[in-house]
Amino acid sequence: MRKRPTNRYTGFIKAGVLGTFVYKFSIFGWLVGDIVALVIYCFLWIAVFANSPTATINGFTSTGMLAYVVSARIIGHLVNSSSSFYNVGSDIREGTIANRLSKPINYRRTQMYSSIGQYIGSFILFFFPLYVPAQLILHFAFGVAFPAWYNILLFLVSSFLSMLIIDSFDFIIGQVAFFTGALFGVMLVKDAVMSFLSGGMIPLSFFPQGFQTVFKFLPFSSMLQTPAFIALGMYSFEEALIKIAWQCVWVVFLGLLSYATFGRTVKRVISVGG
Amino acid sequence: MLKYLKIYPKYLAMAIKSKLAYRMDAIIGSFGFIASNTAAFFTLYLTITAIPALGVWTIEKMVFLYGFCLVPKAIDHILSDNLWSLGNWMVTKGDLDPILTRPLNPLFQIVAREFQYEGFGELILGIIFLAIYGPKQNIVWTFNNVMPLVLCGFFAIFLFFGIKLITASLAFWMKRSISLMSGIYELSNFTKYPLEIFHDIVKVILVAIIPFSLVMYYPVSYLYEGKSIWVLTGIIGLVVSFLVGLGYLLFKLGLKRYESAGS
């Protein structure tokens, strides 16, 4: 019996989920640095608000900021669960891409499906066990309100879209490895730029006005700040829908761009390998 | 000792040559470390400039402190990066075998055979911070404050080395100590910020147990307060010597336990 074409890729979703479970300890290994950074930023913000002449800074109250810093870190890990960057980079670098391309499946799509699997895996293994206790602590110790039910639903949609945006972005940047051969360095630059411009380190409202205008035309705020603001209930229902619509635009745009760039890169691969 | 001084440049030349095969890796790696530190710097900048000042800490003071922490960290990163391999896989993979057959100090061989270009990113950025914000401090720079500060920076290089050596040597008992190693190494990031904003537990850890703040934060803070830092420099020298000594002792003890990997 012939399987429907979409089923060809469900295996990649499953593999993505299971892959996350296999490397669960490596996730927690990297967590240490995150916890240190989190503790530093929490204390820093507490001190900043203690020294502030006003109760709110750029629209944030002291507890609102704590909630944002903690949530953005955890959500950041969830939406960054894609390993397309590394897969593409190493496939090209080591030449295994030739083998992959010979299979009757779309390379770009397999990467996306395994990223979806990794997203599900890290949701279960990492996001849920960290985010829920964090919200409980924020609620009972600092009086941060729980998100409304529709915010939770919107967050699920928004974070999934964020993951797709980052997956496409990573896929595009991963191809840079082909031209430079320096995966690790490119990854450091990409991670630094992404976490800084997506609001992972500081909310974008702290940037000078000129930058904020430019950010409106870049995909970064759709990568993290949108789902984080939705989860914290900082957008009204309508605002959230508009932001999600923007995310859809970026999913489509970067998705198409990743296909287009890959089409060109593949030609180079063949010319070099042949 | 003289023998090692003669051999070290040769080892370094070898390490540099082997790295030149991947020149692009080294250059982009440097950029990576510049990028992540620049992002951290701008985060700090945007955070602090949202308010007039953090108590007595102006942004100029904080960036100078940041640069002062970055430079020794970078120098250690460039010269002793191979200790991470010791903590990560050298014990389990049996990579120490060839090292133990040579008539040279094993620790020397491990450290000298790696030269990590990437650290230059942090080094350049650290020097830029010091050069820009040093003259902006309300301090008259004389021999009596520059000299001990440079000494403290020098000791700080060995503090990073000592802490890495202690935690990496634990791999002889734990097989892999990389998680513990990176966890403790990450604590050094606390010293880039004013110590008084942290909880007392953090202060005790960073001064008395893993003394990153004692070595890097206090000299700068004393300087801002106009105090002399000569005595402090002496104490720091003793503490760092003790830690490096302890690390070497652990390394020696660990080597005795080392059994090669099964074939």
Q: Give one DSSP letter per residue of B217-243, joined into a string.
A: IHHHHHHHTT---HHHHHHHHHHHHHH
Residue A101's pLDDT band, with cuts at 50, 70 and 90, is: confident
| Residue ranges of domains in chain B | 2-257
pLDDT at position B84: 92
Q: What is the DSSP string of B23-57?
A: HHHHHHHHHHHHHHHHHHHHHHHHHHTTSS-BTTB
How far apart CA B248 and CA B173 sit, in angstroms, is 15
**Lookup: tokens for A62:** 């002291």
Contact list, B27 vs chain A (CB under 8 Å): 182, 185
| Mean pLDDT score, B88-106 | 87
pLDDT for residue A273 is more than 70: no
Q: Where are the beta strands (DSSP E) in A68-189?
A: none
Specify whether the CB–CB gap between B3 and B93 falls below 8 A.
no
Contact list, A201 vs chain B (CB under 8 Å): 39-40, 43
The residues, any chain, with a CB within 8 Å of residue A240's CB and separated by 6 or more, are A151, A154, A158, A230
Specify whether the CB–CB gap between B176 and B184 falls below 8 A.
no
**Range of weakest confidence among A3-7, B2-6, B221-225:** A3-7
How far apart CA A84 and CA A183 sit, in angstroms, is 12
pLDDT at position A44: 87
Q: A106 exposed, middle or buried (CB, 10 Å; 0-12, 13-18, 19+)?
A: middle
Chain A nearest-CA residue for B194: A44
**Range of weakest confidence among A254-258, B22-26, B56-60:** B22-26
Structure confidence by residue, pLDDT tens digits, B205-250: 999 999 999 999 999 999 998 888 899 999 999 999 999 999 999 9
CA B251, distance to chain mean position in Å, is 18
Instruction: Report the sign of the C-alpha dihedral through residues A133, A134, A135, A140, in that order.
Output: positive
Highest mean pLDDT among A62-66, A94-98, A241-245: A241-245
Contact A182 B28 (CB under 8 A): yes
Task: Select the residue of A32, A47, A53 nearest B179 (Cβ to Cβ).
Answer: A32
Specify whether the CB–CB gap between A100 and A107 falls below 8 A.
yes
Task: Select the residue of B29, B31, B182 nearest A33 (Cβ to Cβ).
Answer: B182
Number of domains making up chain A:
1
Specify whether the CB–CB gap between B111 and B79 falls below 8 A.
yes
Query: In which domain, by residue range, is A204 found?
Result: 5-273
Task: Select the residue of B35, B48, B179 nearest A193 (Cβ to Cβ).
Answer: B35
Helix axis angle, A237-273 relative to A107-122, nearest 10°?
130
Which candidate in B185, B197, B206 is best for mutational testing of the A interface (most A CBs within 10 A)?
B197
pTM of the model: 0.83
pLDDT for residue B28 is more than 90: no
How far apart CA A197 and CA A28 sit, in angstroms, is 25
Query: What is the torsion angle, in degrees rounded to the nearest 10, for the CA atoms of residue B20, residue B25, residue B30 and residue B35?
Result: 170
Structure confidence by residue, pLDDT tens digits, A43-92: 888 888 988 888 888 889 989 999 999 999 899 988 988 878 878 877 77
The residues, any chain, with a CB within 8 Å of residue B204's CB and separated by 6 or more, are none
How far apart CA A126 and CA A77 sit, in angstroms, is 8
Percent of chain B at pLDDT > 90 equals 45
Which residues are registered as beta bridge partners of B54?
Answer: B57
Closest by CA position to B257, among listed B164, B171, B177: B171
Structure confidence by residue, pLDDT tens digits, B118-174: 888 889 999 999 999 989 888 888 888 899 999 999 999 999 999 999 999 999 988
Contact list, A215 vs chain B (CB under 8 Å): none
Structure confidence by residue, pLDDT tens digits, B162-184: 999 999 999 998 888 888 888 89
3-class state of residue A186 by DSSP: helix
pLDDT for residue A4 is more than 80: no
At residue A145, φ and ψ (nearest 5 deg) are -70, 145
Residue A158's pLDDT band, with cuts at 50, 70 and 90, is: very high
Cβ of residue B120 closer than 8 Å to a chain A Cβ: no
- Count CA atoms closer than 13 A to B14's CA, side-chain side: 10
Contact list, A192 vs chain B (CB under 8 Å): 32, 35-36, 38-39
pLDDT for residue A27 is more than 80: no
Question: Shortest Cα distance from A138 to chain B (angstroms)?
Answer: 18
How far apart CA A134 and CA A74 sit, in angstroms, is 9
| Helix, strand, coil percentages, rounded to 5, for chain B | 75, 0, 20
Span between the terminal Cα atoms of chain A, in Å? 37
pLDDT at position A274: 41
pLDDT at position A39: 85
pLDDT at position B127: 95
Cβ of residue B97 closer than 8 Å to a chain A Cβ: no
Contact list, A186 vs chain B (CB under 8 Å): 28, 32
Query: CA-CA distances (angstroms) from residue B73 to B83, B122, B157?
Result: 14, 8, 6
At which residue do the structure tokens 């634990």 appear?
Answer: B170
